[in-house]
Amino acid sequence: MVVTPVGPQAQGKPGAPSNMEQVISMLAQEYGVPDWQPRRDPVSELIYTILSQNTSDANSLRAYQRLEEAFGGWEAVARSSPTAIAKAIWLGGLARSKAPRIKQALQGIIKRRGSLDLSFLEALPLAEAKAWLRQLPGVGPKTAACVLLFSLGRPALPVDTHLYRLALRLGLLSKVSAEKAHQILEDMVPPGQVYQFHVNMVRHGRRICRAQRPHCPQCILREICPSWPQFWPGLVQEPR
């Protein structure tokens, strides 16, 4: 499998803003540079990502495992009823809405490709690969990016709630929708650092830059963050 886009040999995009470069560098100092490894095959990653929508990682993983155990393969899931799928994924939450999305997405792949194989997406231009996935029912920019990045190593940037919140606070984004933020931020990050940027931003959002009461005194990014005074107006010591 070719994974050059997320490897150290990938070339950066010209004109990346200096503050983005600082963010990537400072987060790497704090959290290191994660090594990309394929998480699942593309179809499995698609199913997992649909299950992960609006629920915790623990619940989505349990629902994914139950679905695999109940049907034994995605072809069987595609042939099954939404009711049976919902029963298998119930503990993951929103089963009644996710079950038909899963079935429709699988059927959409079979209809367009003849089988449940998405490996061809690795060879398509990135924009075409995203567009192909987004034609499937229930697949938006985040789900498409997750499949491409985590399964195939393509430099597509998923923008989850943590990454979106941090980008706004750091001034990397203006007040745009989360959907528009995907392409805006992806265009700012060198392709070889997309995976690193995503993973470290999520880590930082979970540990430090939380939605409520962020831990600004411990933040590695505070010296370049314009937002911390609104959360810690009495904080006057020098950034660490």
| 13 carries an active-site annotation | no
Residue 33 scores a pLDDT above 60 = yes
pTM passes above 0.95: no
Task: Report pLDDT for 233.
Answer: 87
Question: pLDDT tens across 206-240, in order?
Answer: 999 999 999 999 999 999 999 999 998 877 655 44
CA distance 148 to 49: 11
Enumerate the domain spans of the chain: 15-36+157-232, 42-152
Task: Report pLDDT for 6.
Answer: 39
CA distance 189 to 88: 38
Q: Which two tokens stand for residue 13?
A: 């995009």
Whole-Å CA distances, 140 to 25, 75, 144, 160, 199: 29, 22, 6, 12, 20
Q: Report whether 199 contacts 34 (CB < 8 A).
A: yes
Catalytic entry in 103, 142, 175, 180: 142
CATH ID of 42-152, from 3.30.420.130, 1.20.1260.10, 3.20.20.80, 1.10.340.30: 1.10.340.30
For the domain made up of 15-36+157-232, give the CATH fold.
Endonuclease Iii, domain 2 (1.10.1670)
Give 143's contacts (C-beta < 8 A, 6+ positions apart): 46, 49, 50, 53, 133
What mean pLDDT is reported for the chain?
90
